[in-house]
Structures are given as C-alpha cells and as structure tokens.
Structure 1
C-alpha cells in the first residue's frame, strides 16, 4: 500500500478547545477512510506542525495521489473546527525518501 504524509501548520487554537483536539480531529478525519500509521507534533521555526502518516489502498499512482490529497484536505477542514491553520503539505513515500505532491 502506498504511504503518504499529511503535514499541517497550526497557527492558533480556537477558544474553548484543548490542544489535544487538534491531533484528535486530524486523526479522526484521516482514519475515517485510511489507516493512520503514525502521528507527531513538531515545532518548525516556531510554528507547530502536525504530521500524520497514512496508507491508501493500492491503485494506480495518480488515483492514490488524488485520494491522499482529498484525505489531507478533509483533515484540514476537520482541524479548522478547532484551530487556525497554515500550510498543508502532502508527501508520498518513494523508495527511501518523501516527495511532495
């Protein structure tokens, strides 16, 4: 199965939401359609960034990429209910490196 990463910068938390709600929302949105293998929070240049690694069913390259992008956009929409967000990146695993879609 092709492996993908969705990375989303988090620029703020909306009132009334706990910080954990960001990752919980992201994982639930991705997990609704795909297997989430890992999730992590990093701070890059002072900006929190969540990264979730997930699998997409084996299909042709283009279809898998479209499904991954769609899932990442759904994840972003879910997170926007609890936080303000910045850049969304979607990456695909190719051999031993991650390539941006």
Structure 2
C-alpha cells in the first residue's frame, strides 16, 4: 500500500479550542477512512505544522495520488474548524525519499 504524508501549516488556535485538538482533529479526519501510520508536530522556520503519515489502497499511481490529495484536503478542512491553516503539502514515499504529489 502506498504511503503518503500530509503536512499542514498551523497558525492560531481558534477561540474555544485547545491546541491538542489540532492534531486530534487531523488524525480523526484521516482515520475516518484511512489508516494513520504516524503523526507529529514540527516547527520549520518558526512556523508550526502537523505531519500525518497514512496509506491508501494500491491501485494505479494516478488514482492513489488523487485519493491521497483528497484525504489531505478533507483533513485540512477539518483542522480549519479549530485553527487557522496555511500551506498543505502532500508527499508520496518513493524508495527512501518523500516526493511531492502533483496536483491533478
């Protein structure tokens, strides 16, 4: 099964929400339809981002990438209900590297 990473920049937590809800919401959004393999919070150039690794069922590459992009998009929408969000990157595992998924 192909492995993907969704990286989402996070800004301020919205009023009435706790910081831990950000990662919990992201995991629940992906976990509703796909297996979450790992999750983390990173800070890159002083910008926090959440990173979730998940798998999609094997098909052909175009379908796999499109499904991963849709899953990551739903995650970003869900997180936007609890925090401001920024850039979303979707990456696919190729050998020992993570490569960006092209927009379709």
Shorter chain as normaliser: what TM range? Answer: over 0.9
Corresponding pairs, count: 101
The TM-score normalised by the length of structure 1 is: 0.99
* Distance in structure 2 (CA, Å) of the matches to 1:66 and 1:86: 20
- SS at 2:81's partner residue? coil
Structure 2 matches for 1:1-101, cutoff 5 A? 1-101=1-101
Partner-residue secondary structure (3-state), 2:27? helix
TM-score (norm 2): 0.96
Distance 1:74 1:38 in 2: 18
The alpha-carbon deviation at position 76 of structure 1 amounts to: 0.2
CA deviations over 1:30-70 (Å, ceiling 9, x no partner): 01111000000011111111000000001100000000000
Task: Say what the alpha-carbon RMSD is for the aligned residues.
Answer: 0.4
Structure 1, gaps ≥5 residues long: none
Look up the SS of the partner of 1:8 in the other structure.
Answer: strand
4+ long deviations beyond 3 Å: none
Shift of 1:12: 1.1
3-state SS of the aligned residue for 2:59?
A: coil
Aligned to 1:75, what secondary structure does the other structure show?
helix
